[in-house]
Structure 1
Amino acid sequence: MNLCFYVSSPPGEHCVFLCTFCTFSRGRVVDDVIYVRQNTPSRVRHRRVFPTTVMTAVGFCGEWFIFTCDKKLVAIHTKKTREPFVFDCSTAEKRPKNTKDDNSDDGASEETGTDKVLAFAMSPSGKLVALTDDTKRLVLFHCEPSWQCISIRWVMRRCTSMVFSQAEDELLVADKSGDVYSFSVVEPQKEGKLKMGHLSMLLAVTMSLDDKYIITADRDEKIRVSHLRCPYNIQSFCLGHQQFVSALLVPSGHSHCLLSGSGDGTVKLWEYESGRRLQSLDLKELEETQSSEADKEKKTTVCRIASSPDGCHIAVQCERLSTIQFFTLDKVGEERLVPHTRLSLPHCPLDITFDPKGCLWVLMDSNDAPLQTYTHRQGSWECDADSPEVNTVTEALKPHWETLEASARTNSSFEHLYKVSFDNVTAYMQKKQQRLEEQQLKRTKMLKANNNKKKAKKETSGTVTQSST
């Protein structure tokens, strides 16, 4: 079945109209975009292809430091001397071969997956952890009093983001095709239930602190706020980003506020229930020092927004930039984001997270010192170079970190999501002008040749007349 939508062309473009054909095939949506340009005989057909993004990430689940990269989840206790917990997706339970996945990404069998971790989430209490991988497993763990795998279930399509409800009875999973599924935590063997759908790839999902709303962000700049119990009832849209929305956060202590980050290099503060934008900050404009030429060429892509447990401090990480931007979230009157400090790092950060004490942990692309922590003291963020917790975690992390190829750590997660602008009008006009010039030159040559023939004929006629005389 094909659906065709017509929309007006954006300002400054030469498009007459835009046709989007959504082909529903075996439960998946494929967007075909056709651009028809004015005064041109040509048209461009473009199919959106979204590669799978592999995740290198860190987080805290109580006192456990969680690290995911490649095919493994590693949990290291920061306070007690306990054996690290390691879960390797490549050795996990395989999908039964007689199970038919009619809603697979590309119709391929489950054996084509790479087992690499795509997303993970921790519950608010710090007792539960969930992950999903490229083979479409959904694995649920509890970590207290000891680590144990509760269940392994299967998702319909490869996932991009997941979140636990505050009540910890439900796990929401967003996938590449724009669907959100709900998986029960109370009944860990129960299959997922489709909650809602979108016509664009989902990049982030979160929930309000009262479990009333699902908040989703997609590749087409939109943030949707929907009711959890009846997701077809949309409360609001938060619109204003110019590129894909890559990060969402409802900070602790600010239950009616939402922070969003995007590929356009901005961080925005919203009153999400009404969709009202409270503030927008461009990270490039906040730079205190002049960027190098190499950094100027890099796109400012917000890939992570983290908040301290009290919600007062906000840290923003941008992909492939060796800085962390700190903000404070003030509650004097209406909430406002106040730029605080820009932290320069020795290496590009891969992910950031706050621990229960409010210290910032930074995972960097470095074999020697992949981890650093920063503590807020007397109005500034200071590095804890001799932290025993960091030393403990680093030593436990090294065997897994050193076996990982550098390319797997530093591959861009968002480069393919930028919309590519193209203009075939200029090329068409250049070819047209070239064709007109060639035609004019041809006419000039023909006219000159005809004049020469006439002149030669006249001279010949004159010579014959003189001879006869």
Structure 2
Amino acid sequence: MASAAGLALCGQALVVRGGSRFLATTTASSDDDSLFIYDCSTAEKKPQENKGEDGQPVDKGSDTILASTFSTSGSYFALTDDSKRLILFRTKPWQCLSVRSVVRRCTALTFTASEEKVLVADKSGDVYSFPVLEPYGGGTLELGHLSMLLDVAVSPDDRFVLTADRDEKIRVSWAAAPHSIESFCLGHTEFVSRIFVVPNHPELLLSSSGDGTLRLWEFRSGRELHCCHVEPKGTPCEKRFAASRITYCSRENYIALAGDCAPEVYIFQLDAPRRQLVYRQHLSFDHRVWDVAFEETQGLWVLQACREAPLVLFRPVGGRWQSVSESNMLKRASGHLRGNWAMLEGAAALDGGLSSLYKATSDHVATYLRKKEERQRQQLEKRRYKSPQLGPRGQTKKMKSGAMPLSP
């Protein structure tokens, strides 16, 4: 389940979303100050004749954007919203290509590497594919789970579809025959919040979970290669660290994790020859971090809940990531966000985070004994109702000759 506020970068295109709107600008150092803004509340609505079983109109949703993503080349951008719509855009220049209905509210989406399809995962556990080159083509059910899906990814060669669900599983399915399962990546003990196939090491998978770990997998075999426990340092949440975003920089194999409800970002590095994850740095903030994204030139952009400085840019200096204060593109992008702050402020009020996905914990022994005691009490009451007088163990007492039974 994505945050109500989000950040996406591809090439020199930067998108920030909040509530029902998103704005797109550029990180280019030129004087280009172009800005594209889209509001889902103005998008094509579903036909009003769609009604529920009781004859009442179905829930039309709030138009809040639930998930969004760029295609690999950045030529396309897609989003899904709370009104059960999939909206597809061309980015060069920005143009809305289509508005299509999805069956259920979606939790994640991704493009195939070929950019021929966009895959959407929904709360019921299904994954549908929609054609890109036929912008109004209908969806096709590709695969299903018995649990809510939280993320979906594809391998760089488009051979495999990977899905992460609430029941701790990562499933690897063949794209050409999704009913054929290649493997399961098992080891997480809580919901799997994010998965990411490493583009320059396409046999490797990164995953994060509500169990507070970042794990590295060889996904075709389902073998876990390394597990890092992330200890939250400044999160206000009572639960363990759960990553709401994994972002990756291919140049130096850097990995950044943004935590749900946390004013912090964790930096790791992939040691590919040793198949290990190396912890590098903890970035602390005064405000909640909504999202993070790497750019191609190794910069790390951070979207935070601060109107004065909504965007923060970090670059590595001497092996340590440090914030960049003097940047024209940072100032320009931050200025656009301050001018449209209402969309982010509204999104923050609606964002419930990942806390609802944790398992409910209970003392099973105490629960069993309590239920057992209740059953025994009910059985005793039932026997007392049937018998005129019971002994200490529920047996009917023998009465003396001529004695009258006592009233119950």
Q: Under a length normalisation based on structure 1, what TM-score does the superposition of the two structures give?
A: 0.75
1:347 partner letter: H
- Aligned with 1:93 (options 38, 41, 44): 44
> How far apart, in 1, do the equivalents of 2:81 and 2:68 lie?
9
Which protein is bigger by CA-based radius of gyration?
A: 1
User: 2:27 corresponds to which residue?
Assistant: 78
1:219 partner letter: R
Q: Is 1:63 matched up with 2:22?
A: no
User: 1:198 corresponds to which residue?
Assistant: 145
Does the 8 A contact of 2:160 with 2:174 survive in 1? yes
Give 1:107 shift.
Answer: 9.6
User: 2:383 corresponds to which residue?
Assistant: none
Give 1:179 shift.
Answer: 0.3
- Aligned with 1:396 (options 322, 333, 336): 336
> How far apart, in 1, do the equivalents of 2:3 and 2:225 lie?
33
Give 1:62 shift.
Answer: 2.5
User: 1:164 corresponds to which residue?
Assistant: 111
User: 2:73 corresponds to which residue?
Assistant: 125
Give 1:181 shift.
Answer: 0.2
Q: CA offsets, 1:175-230, max 9 Å, x none?
A: 00000000001111100100000000000000111111000000000000000010
Distance 1:354 1:155, change over 3 A: same
User: 2:312 corresponds to which residue?
Assistant: 372
- Aligned with 1:277 (options 221, 224, 247): 224
Distance 1:409 1:352, change over 3 A: farther
> How far apart, in 1, do the equivalents of 2:98 and 2:367 lie?
57
- Aligned with 2:94 (options 122, 128, 147): 147
- Aligned with 2:257 (options 303, 316, 319): 316
User: 2:269 corresponds to which residue?
Assistant: 328
User: 1:208 corresponds to which residue?
Assistant: 155
Stretch moving more, 301-310 or 203-212: 301-310
- Aligned with 2:248 (options 307, 315, 323): 307
User: 2:322 corresponds to which residue?
Assistant: 382
User: 2:170 corresponds to which residue?
Assistant: 223
Q: CA offsets, 1:219-273, max 9 Å, x none?
A: 0000000000100000000000000000111122110000000000000000000
Which structure has more helix as a fraction of its residues? 1
> How far apart, in 2, do the equivalents of 1:407 and 1:149 lie?
22
- Aligned with 2:206 (options 259, 275, 300): 259
Q: Is 1:343 matched up with 2:283?
A: yes
> How far apart, in 2, do the equivalents of 1:409 and 1:356 lie?
32
> How far apart, in 2, do the equivalents of 1:268 and 1:403 lie?
34
Does the 8 A contact of 2:191 with 2:357 survive in 1? yes
Distance 1:132 1:282, change over 3 A: same
Distance 1:172 1:300, change over 3 A: same
2:60 partner letter: T
> How far apart, in 1, do the equivalents of 2:33 and 2:148 lie?
40
Does the 8 A contact of 2:20 with 2:343 survive in 1? no
> How far apart, in 2, do the equivalents of 1:363 and 1:405 lie?
13
- Aligned with 1:416 (options 346, 356, 361): 356
1:420 partner letter: A
> How far apart, in 1, do the equivalents of 2:86 and 2:370 lie?
54
Q: CA offsets, 1:108-155, max 9 Å, x none?
A: 7455311110111100101100001011111100111x1111111110
Taking CA–CA contacts closer than 8 Å with sequence separation of 6 or more, which of the two structures ends up with the larger relative contact order?
A: 2
> How far apart, in 1, do the equivalents of 2:118 and 2:52 lie?
21
> How far apart, in 2, do the equivalents of 1:271 and 1:54 lie?
28
Give 1:399 shift.
Answer: 2.4
Does the 8 A contact of 1:262 with 1:302 survive in 2? yes
Stretch moving more, 184-193 or 297-306: 297-306
Q: CA offsets, 1:299-334, max 9 Å, x none?
A: 2112111101436100111112222111111122x4
State the SS of the aligned residue for 2:340: helix
Give 1:365 shift.
Answer: 1.1
Q: CA offsets, 1:153-178, max 9 Å, x none?
A: 11010000000011100100000000
> How far apart, in 2, do the equivalents of 1:95 and 1:112 lie?
8
Give 1:401 shift.
Answer: 1.6
Q: CA offsets, 1:319-378, max 9 Å, x none?
A: 12222111111122x421111111122222110001121210001111211110100122
User: 2:185 corresponds to which residue?
Assistant: 238
> How far apart, in 2, do the equivalents of 1:225 and 1:420 lie?
27
State the SS of the aligned residue for 1:112: coil
1:319 partner letter: D
State the SS of the aligned residue for 1:405: helix
Distance 1:101 1:308, change over 3 A: farther
> How far apart, in 1, do the equivalents of 2:83 and 2:368 lie?
45
Percent of aligned pairs with the same residue? 40
Does the 8 A contact of 1:142 with 1:148 survive in 2? yes
